[in-house]
Structure 1
Amino acid sequence: MIVPSAFDPPVLLAVAAALFYGLAAALYSHASPHPPRLALLAAWLLHMLAIGAALAVDGARFGFGPALSVTSWLVITVYGIEYHILPRLQPHWPLALIAAAAAVIGAVFPGQLLTASAGPLLAIHLALAIACYGLFAMAVVHGWLMLRAEKQMRNASAAALESLPLLSLERLTFRFALAGFVLLTATLIAGLFFGEELYGRAWAWSHKEVFSVLAWLTFAGLLLARWRQGLRGRKAVRILNIGAVLLLLAYVGSRFVVEVVLRS
């Protein structure tokens, strides 16, 4: 495992992005919404440049760090778009702190260099996997917002009247979960039938495959229960979170063990 120097461009850009993410989170209660938004925009741009610089400096690498970094950037991107489309969607500033940590982790632990033999199939497979991570991360975020909105309603809080309606948050949660499930299914099918072309080996029941299938079964059960029984509320969010943890362990967890614990 190669750890880049603190003065490498990707690391410097990631640290700068983290600082602006932190600034945006610190300014969230500012009287004017413009300072935190400008800080968040600067952080988003620097984060994107850090991801791009990591590819330009020493070739395409991938591992648990870049997976977390790109996923968090996608979450910030989608949430920012939603925020402008849905005016009543409240800012969720803890996302900025998560993105700050992920940006630095992605630059400090760039992962393994992809070989020249890695063809377009591997690029498509990784793109599907990261998009899948991003969609399920958005489902988890909306599930958390749904629980918060439900709590505000139970407490008759004035904030419940200003935030996005509970049913809208619930629909968004399951739409992201369904889209993530479709991409997860496509990713697993690609690994099953094109394992030789992707990784030079056929499908094997390693930790990654086991956790991926367990996550798929969890999400399938969640969506089936939603369709057949109208599953909702805390129980649905709990199952969603369990599936997300299993999916996180599938790739990020296994690569963390290989790259950091075993240092290979």
Structure 2
Amino acid sequence: MTPILLHLATTLTYASLSLIIWQQLRSSSAGSSKWPKIKPWINFLTLLPIGLHIALTYHYSLGFDGLQLGLGNFTSLIVATSCLIYASHSLWVGENSLPALSLPFGAVASLLPLLDGASIQIPHSELPIFKIHLMLSVVAYGLLSVSLIHTLMMSYLEKSLHQHKFSPLIENLPPLLKLEALLFTIVLLGFLTLSAALVSGIFISLEIQSTILPINHKTIFSIASWLLFASLLIGRHLLGWRGKVARKILVIGFLLLIVAYFGSRFVSEIILHNPQY
């Protein structure tokens, strides 16, 4: 089977499972049961397109001497990681409505590697520490992407409750306080992983440039994002930050992180055709 057909199969599987889950949410909303009765095998099946999605990105990125990771492929890998986090959480705690949020994103993102141009190897990606750094970065972006989706969902839920507008998804979501507790757990995990990624980045910089951290916009925005997430967690613990204030800080921190990586990748890869990581 050609890669294009595999991508299409992944997208169709994502879309089909998403439609099944949404349909069951609608049926549950119309019935007497408060919580969706999604069959366990459907939750397990969500791992099928996610696994294929990750395998495809791995196929595109694994070079002979290093990594060949285009902007589309890296974005696709982050979304696949986000879907895996949501699916794993759903299987672990039984919150069956959550995969409905991530599967549509996976359906679109699985096609993104097809948009990349010719594969260009990332400089110094043959170093073991670089591969560790990449893995940590992908997980950190995945976790923090989930936290962003979670934040937007909570804002939508809060607005819907105030306006007394209830969709099938809204009616089957856990209470706001439970969602908020989950949000900060995800943010904490993302922050810890991001911290490890930054530390590994220091080792890479020492290995390649003999300096702790290069002074560029990627470093500045990454540290600014890290400081915002740190302040959010400290404010939550010491001052009880929650609600709109906490969500605004989270969104700003995530946007800084996006600018730090995707901004530099867009300029180096799309404009200058000189990929740097």
Give the paired residue count: 256
- The answer on 1:81 being equivalent to 2:88 is yes
User: Please, which moves more after superposition, 64-73 or 96-105?
Assistant: 96-105
Contact 1:25 1:36 survives alignment (8 Å)? no
2:12: which partner in 1?
A: 19
CA separation of 1:49/1:188 partners in 2, compared to 1, >3 Å: closer, same or farther?
closer
Report sequence identity in percent. Answer: 30
**Mind listing any 5+ residue stretches in structure 2 that lack a counterpart?**
28-37
Q: Secondary structure at the match of 2:110?
A: helix
CA separation of 1:257/1:20 partners in 2, compared to 1, >3 Å: closer, same or farther?
farther
User: Please, which moves more after superposition, 144-153 or 61-70?
Assistant: 144-153
Name the TM-score, length of structure 2 as normaliser.
0.78
Contact 1:215 1:244 survives alignment (8 Å)? yes
1:71: which partner in 2?
A: 78
CA separation of 1:243/1:212 partners in 2, compared to 1, >3 Å: closer, same or farther?
same
- The answer on 1:154 being equivalent to 2:154 is no
- The answer on 1:135 being equivalent to 2:143 is yes
Give the deviation of 1:28 after TM superposition.
Answer: 4.3
1:145: which partner in 2?
A: 153
2:55: which partner in 1?
A: 49
Give the deviation of 1:147 after TM superposition.
Answer: 2.4
Deviations, residues 25-59 of structure 1 (Å, cap 9, x unaligned): 44444358579768745432331231232245766
Q: How does 1:115-194 map to 2 (within 5 A)?
A: 118-155=126-163, 162-194=172-204
CA separation of 1:28/1:130 partners in 2, compared to 1, >3 Å: closer, same or farther?
same
2:223: which partner in 1?
A: 213
Q: How big is the alpha-carbon RMSD for the aligned residues of Structure 1 and Structure 2?
A: 3.0
Give the deviation of 1:216 after TM superposition.
Answer: 1.1
Contact 1:20 1:39 survives alignment (8 Å)? no
> What amino acid does structure 1 have at the position aligned with 2:90?
Y
Give the deviation of 1:255 after TM superposition.
Answer: 0.7
Contact 1:129 1:183 survives alignment (8 Å)? yes
Deviations, residues 54-105 of structure 1 (Å, cap 9, x unaligned): 2457663124323211111111111112222333452453522322332222
> What amino acid does structure 1 have at the position aligned with 2:205?
G
1:4: which partner in 2?
A: none
Deviations, residues 165-219 of structure 1 (Å, cap 9, x unaligned): 211111111111111112222222232344032x446321222112111211221
Q: Secondary structure at the match of 1:195?
A: helix
Q: Of residues 211, 214, 227 in structure 2, which corresponds to 1:204? A: 214
CA separation of 1:92/1:229 partners in 2, compared to 1, >3 Å: closer, same or farther?
same
Give the deviation of 1:18 after TM superposition.
Answer: 2.3
Contact 1:215 1:246 survives alignment (8 Å)? yes
Q: Of residues 101, 104, 113 in structure 1, which corresponds to 2:108? A: 101
User: Please, which moves more after superposition, 59-68 or 118-127?
Assistant: 59-68
- The answer on 1:244 being equivalent to 2:250 is no
- Output the CA distance in 1 between the equivalents of 2:172 and 2:132: 41
- Output the CA distance in 2 between the equivalents of 1:38 and 1:171: 25
Q: Secondary structure at the match of 2:111?
A: helix
Contact 1:67 1:252 survives alignment (8 Å)? no
> What amino acid does structure 2 have at the position aligned with 1:87?
G
User: Please, which moves more after superposition, 34-43 or 227-236?
Assistant: 34-43
CA separation of 1:57/1:245 partners in 2, compared to 1, >3 Å: closer, same or farther?
same
**Mind listing any 5+ residue stretches in structure 1 that lack a counterpart?**
1-6
Name the TM-score, length of structure 1 as normaliser.
0.81
Give the deviation of 1:251 after TM superposition.
Answer: 1.2
- Output the CA distance in 2 between the equivalents of 1:117 and 1:56: 10
